[in-house]
Amino acid sequence: MKFQFNLVVLWMQLGVGVESAVENAITAIYGQFVVLGCSFTVSDKSSLDKLFITWQRKNAENIVHSYYYGGDQLENQDPQYAGRTSLFLEELKNGNASLKLQKLTFQDSGSYECYIDYKPKPDPSFVSVNVVAHYDEPILEITQKLSSCLLSFKSRGYPKANASWYKGANLSHSLSSKDSSYTSEDGFYWVQSKMEINVTEKHSSYTFVLRNPALNQTISRTVHLLNLESITGTYHPPNNYPLIASCIILMLLVIFVLFCSYSSTQLRRQEMLMVN
């Protein structure tokens, strides 16, 4: 039932009809699967052994999936798609030539062409796939300086997201920040946003917002800070200097008495040795 639900939703979204050369667009999630819709008119179910289906990248020669002689023919399949493609074989008799592509990567983004050789022969259909990824829970780093505090949030996703900082819960005016991003080996974007503030108020709060428009994803996190003195634990010298001074003097006196006693004992021993 879950499979049937996904298939129906995608067909409703695409409004597929290969007679039309309109390119349909799908936003797909990294690591999941997508169904590329394609259909044809079945004239005679007994003639399906003459059906020829080819899925390939638009304006490219690399084969994504082939079907003919009544079965899948994957000898010439691009290795990039090996083990990740399948047709709905039980649906061919109903004119459904849709392709299921699993374990999506960012390299799967692009346009796909569905070519069918069958009577009546339909026009090729095109589907555009955009693979995106949700951003992870942001990693917060706080660096305390002498008179300021550096707040930094970092997160991973795709495509490049927008980062903003705000004072408190007021999201109408963004604050100045230093943003950077880079692409990791697996194709993900790492977005980092830093903001340095002077902690002068008794209590301060700042809100970090990360927006990924491709998935309509918004992550909002608020950081509450105490004043600088509370954060750093500023050391206040004790005000009981007289007591400390007295203890130091007493310790010196004890050391002096012990030294005198030791010297007197040594002197008497030397006198006794001289008498003997």
Distance of CA 255 to the CA centre of its chain: 66
Q: What is the pLDDT of residues 209-248, one digit of tens each?
A: 999 999 999 999 999 887 645 444 444 445 555 666 667 7
For the whole prediction, is pTM greater than 0.85? no
Which pLDDT value is given to residue 161?
A: 96
CATH for the 2-132 domain, from 3.40.50.300, 3.30.1490.20, 2.60.40.10, 3.40.30.10? 2.60.40.10
Specify the CATH architecture of the domain 139-232: Sandwich (2.60)
Same CATH fold assignment for domains 2-132 and 139-232? yes
- Mean pLDDT confidence for 260-268: 67
Contact in structure between 71 and 42 (CB atoms under 8 Å): no
Alpha-carbon span 76 to 239, nearest angstrom = 85
Backbone angles phi, psi at 158, to 5 degrees: -165, 140
Sketch the domain layout of the chain as residue ranges: 2-132, 139-232
- Mean pLDDT confidence for 87-104: 95
Helices marked H in 89-146: none
The number of beta carbons lying within 10 Å of the beta carbon of residue 37 is: 24
Q: What is the pLDDT of residues 150-193, one digit of tens each?
A: 999 999 999 999 999 999 888 888 999 999 999 999 999 999 99
Q: What is the pLDDT of residues 26-85, one digit of tens each?
A: 999 999 999 999 999 887 766 788 899 999 998 888 899 999 999 999 999 999 999 999
Side by side, the strands of the sheet bearing 162-167 are 162-167, 203-212, 217-226
Residue whose token pair is 């399948």 = 86
